[in-house]
Amino acid sequence: MADEIPQHRLHLSTSPHIRYGDSVPSVMLSVVLALVPALVASIVFFGARSLALVTTCIVSCCATEWTISVFFLKKGNTLGDFSALVTAMLLAFNLPPDLPWWMAAVGSVFAIGVAKMVFGGLGNNFINPALAGRAFLMASYPAAMTAFRAPRGGTLSGLPQSIDGITSATPLKTFADAMASGNFEALEFQLALPDLFLGKVGGCIGETSVLALLLGATILWYRRAIGFRIPVSYIGTVFVLFWLFNGTGSLVTSEALIVPIFHVLSGGLMLGALFMATDMVTSPITPIGKIIFGTGCGVLTFLIRKFGGYPEGVSYSILLMNLVVPLIDRYTRPRIYGKVEKRA
């Protein structure tokens, strides 16, 4: 029949014509897959306790999102986008291995219930939920959140026992104490670099192994789930600033390079730069904005580690930069093609 509706229709739309085959669930599952190497490393170095923390966070995050989404927001079950699973794993990766399970559950409820679902769920939150949960736990239970232990086959600070006189300090705390006391010797801290890269140091369960984090990030780069602008500008800024202000009195010696390399490999910098600063919801959308965002995170991390009383700084740096993302997007948005500026 002439008026029969054809099976294949011509779809008309305005430019730009962007085709992207991935969906939100597939992207989230890619992130989960990318976090598996760090999860395996955490179990190797900290034992089954790491798996228990991850499981606790997953159950708590998923239960919180399902409850709020079904009974309060009336959206039905939203667990199918797997964003709660990603938040749970990232939050668990930011916890010390011996943190009580109920504290991990409380942090999970805050991350999903307050930092995400209060604003409408995925796509509406303006700060990273996992980092918000960690910041909440740090403010509520500081002693428990800073109680670390040595991993299997390594030391807490990453330094040999003969050098590491105080074994209760993590790599960054040991570094800060050495700088403050005037006993800093760069060549001594060089011995810790291999263990920092492999993960044989104390810290949160998912941040210690740089090797595992890089293996996971390779998956995201291959899937084009994240770009290079934020991680490179973030890590590069931290490296350059600690190289310029390395405290050795020189810029051209091997000791001057040990300081920035130590800071790049220590703490949660790699985890934050690769997996949390690159969050698509809470990071800028423009190319220039991504570089500004990463650079800002790097500057704040440097300032907190160099001059603050807290030896880390990654979580707070990303959270603070999350707050200015709308301004970054506003002032870095590209000029509309064909638009003529009005003259006064």
pLDDT tens series, the chain, 344 aa: 445 545 555 555 555 555 666 789 999 999 999 999 999 999 999 999 999 999 999 999 999 999 999 999 999 999 999 999 999 999 999 999 999 999 999 999 999 999 999 999 999 999 999 999 999 999 999 999 999 999 999 989 888 764 544 445 889 988 888 888 877 888 888 989 999 999 999 999 999 999 999 999 999 999 999 999 999 999 999 999 999 999 888 898 888 999 999 999 999 999 999 999 999 999 999 999 999 999 999 999 999 999 988 889 999 999 999 999 999 999 999 877 666 666 65
Residues 286/242, Cβ–Cβ less than 8 Å: no
Q: What local confidence, expressed as pLDDT, does residue 164 receive?
A: 45
Residues 68/117, Cβ–Cβ less than 8 Å: yes
159/169 Cα distance (integer angstroms): 10
279/126 Cα distance (integer angstroms): 11
- 182 sits in the region (left: phi over 0; alpha: psi -120 to 50; else beta) called left
Kindly report, residue by residue over 199-237, the tens digit of the pLDDT. 999 999 999 999 999 999 999 999 999 999 999 999 999
229/232 Cα distance (integer angstroms): 6
Q: What is the residue extent of each domain of the chain?
A: 24-145, 171-201+226-331
Residues 6+ apart with CB under 8 A from 204: 93, 94, 95, 96, 148, 268, 271
Residues 70/77, Cβ–Cβ less than 8 Å: yes
Please state the φ and ψ torsions of residue 294, each to the nearest 5 degrees. Answer: -65, -40
Cα end-to-end span (Å), the chain? 61
Distances, alpha carbon 231 to alpha carbons 33, 42, 89, 261, 285, in Å: 19, 22, 20, 15, 14
DSSP conformational letter for 324: T
203/68 Cα distance (integer angstroms): 33
For the whole model, what pTM was predicted? 0.91
Kindly report, residue by residue over 291-319, the tens digit of the pLDDT. 999 999 999 999 999 998 888 999 999 99
Q: What percent of the chain has pLDDT over 90?
A: 76
